Structure 1
Amino acid sequence: MRHILLWACCLLSAPAFAQTCPPEGQSKASLQALKALQFTLPDAAEKQKLAEGLLACLGDPDSELRDGIAYEALTQWMRAGDFGADTLRGMRDKLYAMLDGEDKPGFAHPFAALVLSEVARTDRVKPWMSPEERAAMVDRAAAYVESVRDYRGYIDGEGWRHGVAHGADWLMQLSLNPALERAQLDRILAGVASQALPETGHAYVFGEPGRLARPVLYVAQRGELSEADWQAWFAALPPRLGKLNREDYTNWMARRHDLLAFLTNLYLEADQTDDAKIKALKPAIVAALKQVQ
């Protein structure tokens, strides 16, 4: 009985997702060798086991392990259709657990979101999620984008974090899924709006406004929102900037910079596209630009 209690205690106290990188049986050198072979692994079971192990490397401080090996390998395998629904579902749930856990170094959350964008893509290419799972993922993605407060992009010697951009990529892949319903498209747009001009006053310098614009463009391409819907959505953005606050001038100007960059990215895309549904955004974008002081 005592052994059972100890075993149960260990289960309860164990972290939701163990962080061990490189995975058991691997070294950085062996993973580099695998990358040199373009991540070719003929044995499907071995590939699945390694993929699950590489999830832990998404939070590793070593950018080569995190970005150059784990992310690249997982992306390549998923885009090749190497995993079935059960494996993808298991990976998704482990990535959710990573998002729910602590991330003091700041790498695990944004890279979990980036790989989740690839998981979302697999469901778009060959549906395997239930409508309930898909709706839950939309809410997860939007909530993640809304939660980002670490705005670090690229740092020499550390590599990328890029939380807003990676979250925007996740929303973009979801926005492309034809199985989404109107309520889920609205949730995606709410997530984007939350970071179009972040409350913290961080000035984007790593292309975040352009990445945030992509899910908006793909939602527009679906044609499910009316002209009035778009006018209302864009009109709600400038008031969030508020009047010029001279006591916090730097913060206000940074937020203005972000909003202008976001709207300008959208305008240029709408102006240059041949897609009539995206081009129809131009009047609403122009009206929003005119509202920005």
Structure 2
Amino acid sequence: MRREFWERVRDNTGGLPAHLDRSVMLADLSSHLSSPDPRWREDVALVLLSRWILRQGLQDTERRSLAQNAIEGLSAGLGRASDDSVFLRSYSTLVLCAIVERDLIHPFLRSVEYRRILSSALRLLDREKDLRGFVPGKGWAHTLAHLADLFDSLVKSPHLQDQDLQRILKSIAKRLLRPTSTVLGYGEPVRLAKAVITLLNREIVPIPYINSWIDSLSQSSKGRRWSEVDDNPGDVRARTNVTLFLSALVILTRVKGAHKSKARAAQFALKALRQISEGF
């Protein structure tokens, strides 16, 4: 179907056209999540799929089918860098985010489905090599930011318990500590910090674990003090990413109020920042 048709649907009622086969419509829009054209991917496919997922109109079986397709999308081209396959991975993440947000209001997912989504998201966090933010002419890739948004939704669910939340924290730390060619300069550290704040709001992760987790960020992945990594550009960029993340964590904790876990996390994060740089 032509983009102009879907733009009219979006701009009019935004509802599901009654005269078309629903499975065909969902498949057609889903196929454009991989488009390098942001007018298709961002302005049409994502907008309409998210709207239909979140509102009345779709059956839960249809939402489940979209979730399964999106989970598969997280693995499409995984391991490649700087090609268009990143768009399907990144925007499948946002489809899953809409599905989880719908479930938080009108539950329909089972625990096993949550864990399938979580495992796929953690795999993407670990293995994604394309860390581009905005791609000229093609719009936002922004996979890490979109993953952070998915984690921000997932951690609200009672289906995820202490061990699940610890897996998320451990995976975020591992990603941030990894020597890298990319400084995360498109807001990714803030989005990740926001997800961690939401996670801490659950108040089920033991404070000693939070302390140990933040302390792990106070030195490089090789166990060297951050002040000793200036000879390694990849570690220097990782240090910058960790600093951005911990700074955002401290600021957001204070802005969003201080429950016990968040207050302690802010203290631990500030201590870690001071170990990274005396400027803090």
TM-score tier, shorter chain, comes to 0.7 to 0.9
Q: Within 1, Cα distance between the matches of 2:238 and 2:8?
A: 45
User: Is 1:51 aligned with 2:26?
Assistant: yes
| Cα contact 1:221–1:275 (8 A) shared by 2 | no
CA distance in 2, matches of 1:42, 1:291: 58
> Residue type matched to 1:259 in 2?
V
Which residue number in structure 1 is paired with residue 264 of structure 2? Answer: 280
Matching residue of 1:168: 148
Partner of 2:116: 136
Alpha-carbon separation, structure 2, partners of 1:38 and 1:280: 47
Following TM superposition, by how much is the alpha carbon of 1:275 offset from its aligned partner in structure 2, in angstroms? 3.9
In structure 2, the residue matched to 1:290 is 274
CA deviation vs aligned residue, 1:181-229 (integer Å, no higher than 9, x gap): 1111112212322333442241011000011112211111011122211
Structure 2 gap ranges (5+): none
Conserved in 1, the CA contact under 8 Å of 2:54 and 2:99?
no
Q: Is the 8 A contact 1:109 1:163 kept in 2?
A: yes
5+ long unaligned stretches in structure 1? 1-25
Moved more, 115-124 or 165-174: 115-124
Partner of 1:6: none
Higher radius of gyration, 1 or 2: 1
Q: 1:262 aligns to what? A: 245
Matches within 5 A, 1:146-185: 146-185=126-165
Determine helix, strand or coil for the equivalent of 1:280: helix
Structure 1 position 253, deviation (Å)? 2.4
Please tell me whether residue 68 in structure 1 is matched to residue 63 in structure 2. no
Q: Is 2:174 aligned against 1:194?
A: yes
In structure 2, distance between residues paired with 1:68 and 1:225: 38
Matched residues in 1 for 2:6 and 2:27: separation?
14
Mapped partners of 2:30, 2:258: distance in 1: 38
What's 1:22 paired with? none
Aligned equivalents of 1:276, 1:97: Cα separation in 2:
37
Per-residue deviation at 1:85? 1.9
User: Which deviates more from structure 2 when the two are superposed, residues 166-175 or residues 114-123?
Assistant: 114-123
Answer whether contact 1:235 1:288 (CA < 8 A) is retained: yes
Alignment-derived partner of residue 127 in structure 1: 107
Alignment of 1:21-60 (within 5 A): 26-41=1-16, 43=18, 46-47=21-22, 49-60=24-35
Residue 276 of structure 1 aligns with an amino acid whose one-letter code is H
Q: C-alpha root-mean-square deviation of aligned residues, in Å?
A: 2.0
Instruction: Report the TM-score, using the length of structure 2 for normalisation.
Output: 0.88
Q: Following TM superposition, where does structure 1 have runs of at least 4 consecutive aligned residues deviating by more than 6 angstroms? A: none
2:213 aligned to which of 227, 233, 253: 233
Contact 2:74 2:89 in 1 (8 A): yes
Q: Secondary structure at the match of 2:157?
A: coil
Distance of aligned partners of 1:281 and 1:73 in 2 relative to their CA distance in 1, 3 Å threshold: same
The alignment status of 1:77 with 2:59, answered yes or no, reads no
